[in-house]
Amino acid sequence: MPLSLDLKQNFATPITVEYSVDSNMFESMENSLVKGGKLTVGVTAHQAPEGIRLAFSITGKAVVECDRCLEDMEVDINTCEEVSVQNADHYEDAADVVYVDESLTQLDLWPMVYDFIVLAIPISHHHPEGQCNKDMSDKLNQYMVQQPDEENNE
């Protein structure tokens, strides 16, 4: 677990850990929307009354398929998220809570970080105008159903 957090530390004083995410980690995810990337993940953990509060700061670049030409493209990621780690005994199904068994010593942060990166990718993403792979976008256009009033737009 390259992004593991030792839960047996004393978080009374906030602890900050920095992790690196590289393309290999995305390749380990099945059917990943994100093909690769290089990101820095900063995590600050501190003890809050309800559990251990984790504040994530994720910056870098993620590689995804362009909507238009399906070639790889990079999107900038710059996102902050917070979750609280709580004992599974008090399960309440809250959105920003990660429930762990009391005996867990190492928490794998990667599934959370992966979700945060995916959430930070714009729903629509494509190369800047005119920078798509032209052969590929021409081919794709042939298969698209064209609306009659759009045919002469280009």
Binding-site ranges for Zn ion (CB under 5 A):
66, 68-69, 127, 132
CB of 132 to Zn ion, least distance (A): 3
Q: Which is nearer to Zn ion, 38 or 127 (CB)?
A: 127
Minimum distance, C-beta of residue 105 to Zn ion, in the bound complex (Å): 45
Q: Which residues of 97-113 are buried (b: 16+ CB within 10 A; e: fewer)?
A: bbbbeeeeeebebbebb
Residue 77: exposure state from Cβ atoms within 10 A (0-12, 13-18, ≥19)? buried
Q: What are the two backbone dihedrals, phi and then psi, of residue 126, each rounded to the nearest 5 degrees?
A: -155, 165
* Closest CB to Zn ion among residues 54, 132: 132
Q: Which is nearer to Zn ion, 66 or 107 (CB)?
A: 66
Least distance to Zn ion from the beta carbon of 65, Å?
Answer: 9
- Cα–Cα dist 79/46, whole Å: 19
Please, which residue, 95 or 144, has the CB nearer to Zn ion?
A: 144
CB of 120 to Zn ion, least distance (A): 20
Spatial CB neighbours of 146, under 8 Å, sequence gap ≥ 6: none
Q: Whole-angstrom Cα distance, residue 51 to residue 86?
A: 5
Q: How far is the CB of 58 from Zn ion (least distance, A)?
A: 24
Q: Which of 44, 41, 43 minimizes the C-alpha distance to 19?
A: 41
Q: What angle do CA 112, 57, 59 make, to 5 degrees?
A: 100
